[in-house]
A and B are shown apart, each in its own frame.
Chain A
Amino acid sequence: MIAYNKEQLDNFMIQEAAEAVKEKGLISQEEWEAIQAKHPVKLYTPNIFVRIGLALAVIIGALLVNGLFLLMGTDLLRAASSVAGIEFFLGIVCYFLLELYTHAKPHYFSGIDDGLIIVTGGMMITGFILMEMNPTGVTFLTMFMSIIFFVRFPLRWLGVFTYGSILAFVFAFLVNVIPAPALVLSIVIFILSLATFMLTRKVITQYRFRYYSEPISWVSYAALLSLYASVNYFVVREIGGNMMALEPGEALPLGWFFWITTCVVPLIYIYLGITKKSRVCLVTGLTLVAATVYTVRQYYYLLPVESVMCIAGFVMVGIAALLLRYLKTPKHGFTTSEEHIDHSKEKSILESLIIAQTMSAPQTPTDTGGFGGGSTIGGGAGGDY
């Protein structure tokens, strides 16, 4: 099923796990070296920045090749179906390359595999769209392809994408084929999300699904988010309201129910996160509190936005400061010890970029003249083919 070499993947996981315990001093240097010698990793897994660069280069390269092919046959390709033919052909070539790279040269998370997956999928879907397939069909094929890709190439982003494509297909099917009422739609998505979440929790701990456990844990975040979206008043009102042709400002039927779920679901997540020690639930719950505040503000004007910001900021600083003090010595299995924070170089680079971005930059003084004008260098590599 999986395209990557299983023995190599196992070795990869063993070395990762062993390195983690070595850093905590649980195994000795000799043991670490013995493990490395017995389970060597020959996979080509470059640094994350190289991976992103390679993925970009592969995508751009494939688009250029695509352009060359279309150019070569400009005269032949009057009909959309023959263009679609070219897309299918190139898609198959890319898939072939993908298999080649993951087998012959054991690429694993190298950016080349990411790029080729995106390109293959993109070309196939473009082909189907050119064949004038209906939207439900396109979402079905997208889902079908992503599931196959995911089973063969369990990448994290692909897991989330696959889950999204399943949701998109279910949505398109219910809306276009059955014409289901909005409430049914909400219930179906709710059940689907809940089932997915339960399933992911099961799968993650199973040893035989070990290659999938990382990407699947990302899916569980997505499942919790879609579960909330399916019962969030704002989402149901805006999407459902369109389908039921509600007037703007008209309330949603069963609105009280959705108001309760909008407010209660994040709290349930946080509660589960604390009692079950589940990071997925805790982080999503905390994030969704903000979504709840936003939803309420969308319909009820309680306070001006700056007051909400001040109060929220004050409460957040207060709670965090109190908890940091309270948990100075670990209590109830929680710790604020800094040693668990990932201090890797990549993380600290990202953090410093985020800080630089969010730090309110002072206005550049106006006497230097001419600000806010258009940029002359926007184009870059992206827009030129």
Chain B
Amino acid sequence: MNTRIFENLFDEGLVSQESMNKIRAAETSKLFPVAWELRTILYLGVLLLSSGLGILIYKHIDTIGHMAIIALIAAISLGCFIYAAKKKPAFTWQKMRTPSVLYDYLVLLGCLTFVSFVTYLQAQYNVFGTLYGTATFIPLIVLTFSAYYFDHLGVLCMAITNLAAWMGVNVTPRYLITANDFSSERIVYAGLLLGLICIGMSWLSKHKQWKAHFEFTYMNFGVHVLYVSMIAAHFTLLRWPFFGWVLMMGAVSYLLYRFFPVVRNSAYFLVVMALYIYVQLIIIITETNIGDIGGYLFICLLLTGLLIYALVTINRKMKKK
């Protein structure tokens, strides 16, 4: 198919003989890339292994003995970290070239087992007593350190979820909305704060050049957590008259757009922000109880029209770049 397209271009005189030969040669000697498949298998393997081990240990607790299990988990975790530390090139604040594919996954396995190690210590021996904060704070430190030291985005995600857990919020994409009790003021405040922290970290990553490629991940968590919390704030916190929190959302969106190139240059963030504002507006319209259902549908339709207009504008802005 490809060769045919270029043969046509060649006939039109748009592609030179030399380039055509290169394309033909590339087409015939094409290698079959399997890197993505192998990576996926590795990733699933690591996940299966770590969770399988977890269950296995949990079930056989009375026969193996706690000390042996804790030693085993610690050994796996330590082994992974030692391997990673040996393979790792010298630390830089820039993006590091991964020494090998295996390296990435062993760092991941090391961190996963480390978290189970701490959880286990706490569950079994109550090492940290009732200081639950400490039990999540220690993994937080280790994960954050590992994310930067070993330069690993997956571990960074773990660190952020851990920070959230420490603050009392659940931020895995699937549970962000369902598993958090947003009627509790505390959670809403924690969510707002967490969102701001993530956005702040995103800014620092970029401007201080502290692993500038972490910018996107921080912003991703930040935007979702902040906007969901703002929607929740509309219900639980002080009810500002009319469109208080929507105006807040608009202001936040404007600031993000104005001061963060990562947001300004990404259709993803702009679309997500537009959708959040749309949802918030629909919620408010539904709440105000217009009384006339026809009018209600009509206003919703108007809002949907505005959403389409916003999306088309976003696309036009993106195209220009």
Q: What residues of chain A have their CB less than 8 Å away from a CB belonging to chain B?
A: 13-14, 17-18, 21, 24, 26-28, 31, 34-35, 38, 46-47, 49-50, 52-54, 56-58, 60-61, 64-65, 67-68, 71-72, 111, 204-205, 207, 210, 213, 277, 279, 282-283, 286, 304-321, 323-324, 327, 330, 333-338, 340-342, 345-346, 348-349, 352-353, 355-381, 384-385
* Beta-carbon contact of B52 and A377 below 8 Å: no
A124 to B83, CA, bound (A): 61
Interchain nearest-CB distance for A197 vs B (Å): 19
* Beta-carbon contact of B33 and A335 below 8 Å: yes
Contact partners of A308 in chain B: CB under 8 A:
52
* Beta-carbon contact of B294 and A207 below 8 Å: no
Contact partners of B297 in chain A: CB under 8 A:
64, 67-68, 71, 385
B52 CB contact (under 8 Å) in A279, A310, A327, A337: A310
Contact partners of B158 in chain A: CB under 8 A:
359, 361
Contact partners of A342 in chain B: CB under 8 A:
36
* Beta-carbon contact of B48 and A312 below 8 Å: yes
The verdict on A312 contacting B45 (CB below 8 Å), with A324-B101, A377-B182 known, is yes
* Beta-carbon contact of A306 and B34 below 8 Å: no
Contact partners of A282 in chain B: CB under 8 A:
34, 37
Interchain nearest-CB distance for B183 vs A (Å): 5
Number of A-B contacts (CB under 8 A): 310
Interface of chain A: mostly helix, strand, loop or mixed: helix
The verdict on A286 contacting B101 (CB below 8 Å), with A61-B304, A356-B157, A381-B282 known, is no
Contact partners of B168 in chain A: CB under 8 A:
364-365, 368
Q: Which partner residue on chain B sits nearest A317 by CB separation? A: B45
* Beta-carbon contact of B182 and A375 below 8 Å: yes
Q: In chain B, residues 236-272, which have Cβ atoms closer than 8 Å to a Cβ of chain A?
A: 236, 266-268, 271-272
A306 CB contact (under 8 Å) in B52, B279, B300: B52
* Beta-carbon contact of A336 and B33 below 8 Å: yes
A184 to B168, CA, bound (A): 56
A307 to B56, CA, bound (A): 7
* Beta-carbon contact of A314 and B49 below 8 Å: yes
A364 to B165, CA, bound (A): 5
* Beta-carbon contact of B37 and A345 below 8 Å: no
* Beta-carbon contact of B31 and A334 below 8 Å: yes
* Beta-carbon contact of B16 and A53 below 8 Å: no
A174 to B161, CA, bound (A): 51
- Stretch of B63-71, B84-92, B195-203, B306-314 at the chain-chain interface: B306-314
Contact partners of B133 in chain A: CB under 8 A:
365
Contact partners of B181 in chain A: CB under 8 A:
370-375
B132 CB contact (under 8 Å) in A26, A72, A365, A373: A365
Contact partners of B205 in chain A: CB under 8 A:
none
A288 to B31, CA, bound (A): 25
A376 to B315, CA, bound (A): 32
Chain B, 110-147, contact with A by CB distance < 8 Å: what is the 0/1 string? 00100100010000000000101101100100000000
